Structure 1
Amino acid sequence: MLHSRTTPHDKRRALRAGLSGGELLRLPGAINPLSARAIERAGFDGVYVSGAVLAADLALPDIGLTTLSEVAERSQAIARVTGLPTLVDADTGFGEPMNTARTIQILEDAGLAGCHIEDQVNPKRCGHLDGKTISPLPDAVRRLRAAVDARRDPDFVVCARTDVRTTGGLAATIERAKAFAEAGADLIFPEALADAAEFEAMRKAVDVPILANMTEFGQSTLLTTTTLRDLGINVVIYPVTLFRLIMGTVTESLKIIDAEGTQAGLVERMQTRGELYDLLDYSGYATFDADVLTHGYREDR
């Protein structure tokens, strides 16, 4: 009920433990706080907050238009309702190294378990699209070191994302991954690797945890969790999956309502009122309210 009883520090410790535990952590992308609760109930290991989803939800393209305040507010709302650790997309850190340092501390205050910082030049682009400009490696390393040095909770996970694969190839991606690991990254996010062989090469190249992005319609083959585990990958995210499913349903449902003049044919596809109330924990609120009402109050005189 209300906020999660698990503290942000405990969530961060859980993510740290998961990264070193030898298992594959599965983090679907939440579209809002209620979907984060559904992710937890479904038995996943964590929650991911996608910058692309947040931008699209605001009817904006994913080109660096969202602000730190918008990202922090949305991710805080998501993180507060789940006992799972939440990892957020922090784009390029929202500015220069000092801005990146501030970003880390604001996300710590927001209750996040970690974030990833990428090595693009603004205006940034989706990692699977053309038109990106990659920061020179020294600049990217300075940005990452600012993030690592700024955190106050040592368990806050700083993930380094590199988008150089589509512009510089696998060798350049491995070079950056090594540099980021040396600079203190807790987790490496090599964006847009092509297939299992490239993930295998990355796993052999660096001795820090690796994140795989299994996004639809992108450059990467959609690998199964079994394959990713066998490759030694530590984290997999499904950043836009739920958002795409929901928006696909919205679009199709509007067509049906327009054509048929009623939503009656869609009712069987809907989450029922009972299912919604169960996910919202209406019963917990009712119990709390009843206890408060019946507890009584007496002023000692």
Structure 2
Amino acid sequence: MAGNAKASALRALLAKGEFILAPGIYDGISARVADRMGFPALYMTGYGATASMLGLPDAGLATYSDMVGRAEMICSVIDTPLIADADTGYGGLLNVQRTVRGYEAAGVAAIQIEDQEMPKKCGHTPGRRVVPAEDMVLKIRVAADARRDANTLIVARTDARTAHGLDEALRRAKLYEEAGADIIFVESPESEAELQRIGKEVSKPLLANMVEFGKTPRVETARLKEWGFDLAIYPGLGFSVAAEAMRQAWQHLKEKGTSNDMIVPQYRGMHELMGFPEVWEFEKKWAQV
């Protein structure tokens, strides 16, 4: 499925009212595993991408080039529409234009931009600062105008809740709706009551971040849909269970001196997952006789 076709497919699912459940992916292996699972969309997590590329925290250290390259690689190995974290747009208005066009060219279906100051921080960590709402409104307008395909979706995220309260976050959400965002993302609500209020007051399609170990209660999709949400992302689930599985496996190896009899399950069929059968077919076809 081409990049524009993926955006069109994601937009059509939202228009039909189908709830979009998107697991967080961050590298080639996680992308290929999730792509086989039948999810309507996948989410490229900035936390996971930064951690897997740089071994560093999601604190504004990954550059535009880092992230657009990771998005392009992921899009090249999946058929599922990708929602991708683009942080603050990596600078001013001209940077936002470049980011949107670069992510589009990479094959991304929906591009997420947030209203934090640079350097940004992970959405469930302290010390986040937001730009004036008017600055973010301009970024959204530029992002919407920069699209080469009208089907590409712009996700506007506000981080105002933690430092400025829910009223300010909702005020910004409404401004971002009017500015042309296709999807609204109010980061870090701190209770089910707050989630319900967000669902009542936001008109455009609404994204919930069901992050592991964060400030927001994790709520099953049926209730999120009932409260007015249209998408839910699980950005931390994949890398947190992968890291713990590796820790357990390597602990076993250290203690036992072997990988035999490990309780931790191993993925069977890695060759097939990574596309080795296609390589073998290619080599067979073009083998020298």
SS of corresponding position for 1:29? strand
Measured against aligned partners, the alpha-carbon deviations of 1:143-173 in whole angstroms (never above 9, x if no partner) come to: 2211111111111111000001111111111
Q: How does 1:199-218 map to 2 (within 5 A)?
A: 199-218=195-214
SS at match of 2:18: coil
* Residue number among 268, 280, 290 corresponding to 2:274 in the alignment: 280
- In structure 2, the partner of 1:45 is 40
Q: Secondary structure at 2:261's aligned position in 1?
A: helix
Unaligned residue ranges in structure 2 (runs of 5+):
none
Partner in structure 2 of residue 224 of structure 1: 220
TM value normalised by structure 1: 0.91
Q: 1:176 aligns with which of 154, 159, 172?
A: 172
Whether contact under 8 Å (2:84, 2:112) holds in the other structure is yes
- Partners of 2:76 and 2:7 in 1: how far apart? 13
Pairs aligned (count): 288
Identity %: 37
TM-score using structure 2 length: 0.94
Cα deviation, 1:81-132, whole Å, max 9, x if unaligned, reads 1111101110001001111111101111111111110001012111111111
| Alignment match of 1:117 (pick from 94, 110, 113) | 113
Q: Match of 1:32?
A: 27
What CA distance in whole angstroms lies between the structure 2 residues aligned with 1:13 and 1:128? 31
**Residues 178, 206 of structure 1: 8 Å contact kept:** yes
Q: Is the 8 A contact 2:154 2:181 kept in 1?
A: yes
Q: Aligned Cα RMSD in Å?
A: 1.8
- The farther-off stretch of 29-38 and 213-222 is 29-38
**CA radius of gyration, larger in:** 1
Gaps of 5+ in 1: 1-5, 297-301
2:198 corresponds to which letter in structure 1? M
1:55 aligns with 2:42: no
One-letter identity of the residue aligned with 1:103: T
**CA drift at 1:283:** 3.4
Distance 1:268 1:146, change over 3 A: closer
Amino acid at match of 1:278: E
Note if contact 1:114-1:158 (Cα within 8 Å) is conserved in structure 2. Answer: yes
Which stretch of the first structure deviates more once superposed, 10-19 or 283-292? 283-292
Structure 2 Cα separation of the partners of residues 64 and 173 of structure 1: 22
- CA distance in 2 between counterparts of 1:21 and 1:289 reads 44
